[in-house]
């Protein structure tokens, strides 16, 4: 889809990047991305994807904004406390970039609705804060052949990977079962999910414009911002994986 004069000016600084160009910007305009979760990770992911000019941006979350969110969930604000996160995110993003088609999905992802929601998008960014949702995203994306990025953070640390179904290792290949449940709140230092979400948004952008050699496929990126250490660990698909294995 051709860019308007206003869009050419809005996106000028990334259009002049030779790796992206006007054709790449048009690909972004034609693309649809689902952001699953509008918390710490989802805040930076949705903000940067909206700013980048993704044509359709799905905003999915069933929670409301609380005061304890605001130290890391930068898409929300004090005046939005008590408001649905989808509405809060839409208010911020629609002011940032009104050219984007925003779709608010104010519901919980379940085994009954996962496929019907996810199949409408070209790329999914999993920003959920629980393992059940991550496995659901993984399985639904593989079933519908939708590429996705998945991230998780704790304290100063984070882990990230990108999956292209049937071409790379999936989330279940690496994490075959969730850790034991805990009632303790998860410690998160505010900038940690912002850092991770920025990488996730870049993974979505790179996939859409065709820069796929540098994606985090078949790799798990582990970072620790306290020590400023980064590990890129190679991973392999598991033939016996219940989601993507040969059987």
Where b means 16+ CB within 10 Å and e means fewer, 80-90 reads beeebbbebbb
At 177 the pLDDT is 81
Mean pLDDT of the chain: 96
**Range with the lowest mean pLDDT among 31-35, 180-184, 192-196?**
180-184
- What span, in angstroms and rounded, lies between the C-alpha atoms of 131 and 216? 20
pLDDT at 204 over 70: yes
SS3 134: helix
3-state helix, strand, coil in the chain (%, to 5): 40, 20, 40
Where b means 16+ CB within 10 Å and e means fewer, 15-27 reads beeeebeeebbbb
Confidence of residue 181 (pLDDT cuts 50, 70, 90): confident
> Within the chain, what is the greatest distance between any pair of CA atoms?
53
Count of structural domains within the chain: 1
Residue 121 in any domain: the answer is yes
Confidence of residue 228 (pLDDT cuts 50, 70, 90): very high
- What span, in angstroms and rounded, lies between the C-alpha atoms of 170 and 167? 9
176 vs 12, higher pLDDT: 12
pLDDT at 1 over 90: no
Residue 17 in any domain: the answer is no
Residue 195 in any domain: the answer is yes
Residue 97 in any domain: the answer is yes
Edge-first strand listing for the sheet containing 56-60:
101-105, 56-60, 32-36, 123-126, 148-154, 157-163, 219-224, 229-234
pLDDT at 125 over 90: yes
Confidence of residue 184 (pLDDT cuts 50, 70, 90): confident
Residue 16 in any domain: the answer is no
* CATH code of the domain in which 188 resides: 3.40.50.720
pLDDT > 90: percent of the chain: 92
Confidence of residue 247 (pLDDT cuts 50, 70, 90): low
Q: Residue 177 is part of which domain span?
A: 31-234
What tens digit of pLDDT does each residue of 47-58 get? 999 999 999 999
- Measured from the Cβ of residue 139, the count of other Cβ atoms closer than 10 Å reads 20
Residue 13 in any domain: the answer is no
């Amino acid at each position: 889809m051709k860019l308007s004069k206003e869009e050419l000016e809005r996106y000028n600084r990334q259009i002049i990047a030779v790796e992206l160009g006007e054709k790449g910007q048009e690909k972004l305009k034609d693309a649809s991305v689902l952001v699953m979760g509008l918390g710490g990770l989802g805040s930076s992911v949705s903000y940067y994807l909206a700013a980048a000019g993704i044509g359709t941006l799905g905003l999915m979350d069933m929670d409301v904004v609380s005061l304890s969110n605001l130290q890391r969930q930068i898409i929300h604000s004090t005046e939005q406390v008590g408001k649905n996160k989808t509405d809060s995110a839409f208010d911020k993003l629609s002011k940032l970039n009104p050219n984007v088609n925003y779709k608010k999905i104010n519901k919980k992802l379940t085994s009954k609705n996962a496929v019907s929601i996810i199949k409408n998008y070209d790329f999914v960014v999993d920003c959920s804060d629980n393992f059940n949702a991550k496995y659901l995203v993984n399985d639904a994306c593989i079933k519908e052949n939708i590429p996705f990025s998945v991230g998780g953070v704790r304290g100063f640390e984070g882990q990230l990977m990108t999956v292209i179904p049937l071409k790379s290792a999936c989330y279940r290949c690496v994490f075959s079962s969730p850790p034991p449940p805990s009632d303790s709140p998860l410690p998160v230092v505010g900038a940690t999910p912002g850092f991770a979400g920025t990488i996730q948004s870049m993974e979505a952008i790179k996939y859409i414009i065709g820069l796929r050699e540098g994606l985090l496929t078949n790799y798990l990126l582990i970072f620790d911002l306290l020590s400023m250490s980064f590990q890129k660990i190679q991973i392999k698909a598991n033939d016996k994986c219940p989601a993507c294995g040969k059987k």
